[in-house]
Amino acid sequence: MTTETRHRTDSDTDATTTVVLDTNALMMPVELDVRVFDELDRLLAANVDLVVPSAVVGELEKLSAGAGNEGVAASVGADLAADRCRVIDTEATYADDAVVELAERGFDYVVTNDKPLRDRLLERGVRVIGIRGHHKLDITEP
């Protein structure tokens, strides 16, 4: 069952490229000083529809209860997901499995800096966007 619980403020009707963001992608602005949304605009010369599995939002909410930089990064990530992305329910309840589930539905890209998840996605033929160098994102083709 798929339920969209929140929509981004831009019109989704013109979106041509759908991008799934995982937990660490939404934490990149604080943890790695990466301007994720600006970088996606730079990389993808198309209207972008940003989606996040509800399991990722749940993970961010749990992490945001923690102390230190990780808690702050997760809190910012949860806010970004709520403000900038469509949150989609999935069958999977574990965040990484939920990201893979959405990717297998045919969405165009996944943003992650998680190597095991990246490898799972590439094995399934999914294009992955991850950090390259300092503060920049790049696309890895399967």
Residues of the chain with pLDDT > 90, as a percent, come to 80
Residue 64's pLDDT band (cuts 50, 70, 90): very high
CB-CB contact of 129 with 42 (8 Å)? no
Q: In which order are the strands placed within the sheet that holds 48-53?
A: 4-6, 86-88, 48-53, 17-21, 109-111, 127-132, 136-140
17 in a structural domain = no
pLDDT, residue 26, reads 97
pLDDT: which is higher, 87 or 7? 87
pLDDT, residue 114, reads 94
DSSP annotation string for 78-132: HHHHHHHSEEE--S--SHHHHHHHHHHTT-SEEE---HHHHHHHHHTT-EEEEEE
pLDDT, residue 5, reads 36
CATH code at 32? 3.40.50.1010
Domain count, the chain: 1
- Average pLDDT score over residue span 4-13: 39
16 in a structural domain = no
Which range among 34-48, 85-99, 118-132 shows the weakest confidence by mean pLDDT?
A: 34-48
Give the best-scoring range by mean pLDDT among 8-17, 51-60, 127-136: 51-60
Return the SS3 of 36.
Answer: helix
Tell whether the model's pLDDT for residue 1 goes beyond 90.
no
Tell whether the model's pLDDT for residue 12 goes beyond 50.
no
C-alpha distances (whole Å) from 27 to each of 1, 62, 78, 131, 133 are 27, 13, 9, 12, 17
Tell whether the model's pLDDT for residue 9 goes beyond 90.
no
20 in a structural domain = no
116 in a structural domain = yes
- Average pLDDT score over residue span 34-47: 90
In angstroms, rounded to a whole number, what is the distance separating the alpha carbons of residues 23 and 39? 17
pLDDT, residue 134, reads 81
In angstroms, rounded to a whole number, what is the distance separating the alpha carbons of residues 24 and 17? 21
Tell whether the model's pLDDT for residue 6 goes beyond 50.
no
Buried b (16+ CB within 10 A) or exposed e, 91-122: ebeebbbbbbbbbeeebbbbbbbbeebbebbe
- Residue 65 sits in which domain range? 4-10+25-140
15 in a structural domain = no
19 in a structural domain = no
